[in-house]
Chain A
Amino acid sequence: MSDKIKVSIDGITVEVEPGTTILNAARQIGGEIVPPAMCYYSKLEGSGGKCRTCLVKVSKGSEKDPRPMPKLVASCRTGVMDGMEVQNITSPEVLEARRGVVEMLLINHPLDCPICDQAGECHLQDLSYEHGLADTRYEFERRTFEKIDIGDKIQLHMTRCILCYRCVFVADQLTDSREHGILGRGDASEISTYIEKAVDNDFSGNMIDVCPVGALTDKTFRFKNRVWFTKPVEAHRDCPTCSGKVTLWYKGEEVLRVTGRKDQYGEVQEFICNTCRFETKNTSDWIIEGPRHVSQQSVISANHYEMKPLPVIKKNLELQEANKEQFERATKF
């Protein structure tokens, strides 16, 4: 298409459709320069802008108006302009701000990863591993909340929540009615239901999939196993309400849990219904497609016997040239 616009992120130019956000433009390039996103979810309208981990610097606004933007901007909610130049990992300012945001996200997080079901597939774990400090400067008691029960399928751990609002968007956009929301203000705000009401919609289980941390976990999987001991297998079934395309997590012959299929950014490809997620946990319910590919970076790949590609030595012409010169010089005399 001719009306594509050019944007450069960390010096890499990419052509995108008008209206694309900086984050999605970066995802088209892929690799290290993709800003991390804790609250943005491409399938949920209106999400993003809250966690501030995806802050980037716009060093050139556009071809027409080359002024840089005065502040760091949230890349998930800022549209690209033609000729925009964005700095992500090449800007020390951005890395500093991101370190700050990660620190802020962690100061009230309980860091109870050893007993958290999300451990191993937690975005906050990955984020703090990549951008966080080894120890905290926060010397006060961490914030706690009164525990509330939100139904027999979903377990809420409010202390782990980073208030990304994704589950609120899920309830608004996928289910018939939203029973939970954010109550309170500031650091006392919490996810809660309206006077102890249970969250039990057909699609409420997707709240578990979109939760980037362990705040919403599957009660039917609770304390059953660590995710890296389970084997993900892709399967599908003929479901009347959803697409029925899922990932089954096996331990031995038993299906421990069912989730949507998540892509490399942790976003599900298709949302699934609660029947698929919670009630069909027998192999006989499913048509197995095959083992799911797990990224080498993920801890879940730890016990998997996927064939590693053999290391390939790339031809580096410059180096070869230099070596040749060096060799000639050395053997001249």
Chain B
Amino acid sequence: MSRKLLLEHINVPGIDTFDVYRQNGGYRAVEKALKTLTPDEVVEEVKKSGLRGRGGAGFPTGMKWSFLAKPEGKPRYLVCNADESEPGTFKDRYLMTYIPHLLIEGMIVASFALGAKTSYIYVRGEMMPQIRILEKAIAEAKNAGFLGKNILGTGYDLELYVQPGGGAYICGEETALIESLEGKRGNPRIKPPFPAISGLYNCPTVVNNVESIAAVVPIINDGGEEYAKIGIGRSTGTKLISASGNINKPGVYEIELGVPVEEFLYSDEYCGGIANGKRLKAVVPGGSSVPILPANLFLKTVTGEARLMSYESLSEGGFVTGSMMGSGGFIAFDEDQCIVRNTWNFSRFYHHESCGQCSPCREGTGWMEKVLHRLEYGHGKLSDIDLLVDVSKKIEGNTICPLGDAAAWPVAAAIRHFRDEFEWHVTHPQEAMERNYGLAHYADPLPPVGEPA
């Protein structure tokens, strides 16, 4: 068994209540941070831990905190991004449902480190039960003196609010989240200025993912250096992976970063292999916006090394033969799944969720969806495949926020790796309606190194 830091006590009955959580060593981090450490020391511990943002981009959290501007006379805010809506990712919801106090504890420590007197947890509107759970947890913590005025007699005040969102994927982008939190239309802002300089109500703001904030708790409890020993290279600590798709045991798993993907996928401790004795065809390792990989490229990198579940290893080979860690939404596809259909489904999502602010994303996502729909239903042309690649290139990098990139990458990657299947949909439209393309050569061993992939 690997070490669990976030989900250590997840199976203790009643861990979602304050008392049980406290008995299991909860709120130790708050006591330690507020009583024995200065805010700068907390930031230093997080820096030492090498914790990287768990929301998708993987930016070092400690670094993000140290960029926060500290002008006199202006409040600073910490906002927790719980607007988890990426298809394939459900780790934050799990964490908030079963162990909400971990997030509250992390919020207190992080707010203390940043000097925030008011902090917000922005929860996606659809997660109404989780909003209630969090509000109850906040009330319990306040009752016990961990929130409100003069926490634990240290003179530090903190108010924590839960804000339901309207249920838009785009509000998971930090500046759109801030706009939405201010009560405006959730359009991403144009950067610069970055939120660390001018965010919520034009004050310096840090926006962190739920898991990043929760991970601050074990970092403060055990020390940053201890945390940094877990994991591999620059991917330190543990990560929650939401495993879904055609696997025997879908669910949320806490892994030590650096576990080989083969072990993660096939061992009984984690996913337990592909369901119904089928074979693996493709994997989306980090939520719908990261490039999809065929089985052979996923299990082994182009150079023949075993791929690991870490930020570096998953992105090895760049966009040509690699993917990304993303937010840890691990989706496995077996041999009976149709990649064209899946790509269409993803692009339908991005079409629906584009905010409509900047032209390439507003128009391009709809265009890609329509072309993919046509391909999937057997009305496509061979030129459509090149058209899709071209449109995705025109969107990528030319938009205000990363949603454009997120819409373009899965399409570009699916065509890069599964072009045969797309072409087969065009050349055999009737057959494509009746059966799937199957596994084909996507699990075959890779050609030896030296040949371009």
- Chain A residues at the B interface, C-beta cutoff of 8 Å: 48-53, 55, 71-72, 74, 77, 97, 100-101, 103-105, 107-108, 137-138, 140, 143, 162-163, 165, 181-182, 184-189
Bound-complex Cα distance A101 to B396 (A): 11
Size band of the interface chain B makes with A: 20 to 34
CB-CB < 8 A to A184: which residues of B?
356
When the two chains form the complex, which single residue of A51, A143, A185 contacts B359, counting CB atoms closer than 8 Å? A51
Bound CA span A74–B359, Å: 12
B291 CB, min distance to chain A CBs, angstroms: 18
Pair A49/B400 contact, Cβ less than 8 Å: yes
CB <8 Å contact, A50 and B355? no
Known contacts A72-B398, A107-B363; A189 and B356 CB within 8 A of each other: yes
Looking at the complex, which one of B353, B370, B394, B399 makes contact with A186 (CB distance below 8 Å)?
B353
B353 proximity list for chain A (CB < 8 A): 185-186
Query: Who on chain A is nearest to B190 by CB?
Result: A49
A51–B359 Cα distance when bound, in Å, is 5
Q: Which residues does chain A contribute within 8 Å of B370, judged by CB atoms?
A: 140
User: Do the beta carbons of B360 and A52 come within 8 Å of each other?
Assistant: yes
Asked if B358 is an interface residue, CB under 8 A from chain A, the answer is yes
B170 partner residues in chain A, CB cutoff 8 A: 185
Would you give the shortest CB distance from A280 to chain B, in whole angstroms? 37
CA distance A51 to B363 in the complex (A): 11
* Most A Cβ at <10 Å: residue of B168, B170, B356, B387: B356
Contact partner of A52 among B355, B356, B398, CB < 8 A? B398
- Pairs A–B under 8 Å by Cβ, sample size 29: A49-B358, A50-B359, A52-B358, A52-B359, A52-B399, A72-B397, A74-B400, A97-B398, A100-B360, A100-B394, A100-B398, A103-B394, A104-B362, A104-B364, A105-B363, A140-B370, A163-B357, A163-B362, A165-B357, A181-B185, A184-B356, A185-B170, A185-B355, A186-B356, A186-B362, A187-B351, A187-B356, A189-B356, A189-B362
Query: Whole-angstrom distance from the CB of A74 to the nearest CB of chain B?
Result: 7
The distance from the CB of B125 to the nearest CB of chain A, in whole angstroms, is 14
Dominant secondary structure at the A interface: loop
The CA-CA distance from A186 to B399 in the complex, in Å, is 13
Q: Contact at B360–A186, with CB atoms within 8 Å? A: no
Min CB–CB distance B22 → chain A (angstroms): 43
Contact yes or no, A186 B352, CB < 8 A: yes
Known: A104-B394, A186-B352. 13 other contacts (CB 8 A): A49-B358, A71-B397, A71-B398, A140-B370, A163-B356, A184-B356, A185-B168, A185-B170, A185-B353, A185-B354, A185-B356, A187-B351, A189-B356
* Proximity bits, B397-413, A CB within 8 Å = 1, else 0: 11110000000000000
B366 in the interface, Cβ–Cβ < 8 Å? yes
Q: Is the Cβ of A50 less than 8 Å from the Cβ of B387?
A: no
A140 to B354, CA, bound (A): 19
Question: Nearest residue in A to B350 (C-beta to C-beta)?
Answer: A186
A272 CB, min distance to chain B CBs, angstroms? 29
CB neighbours of A165 from chain B (8 A): 357
Q: Are B354 and A101 in contact (CB under 8 A)?
A: no
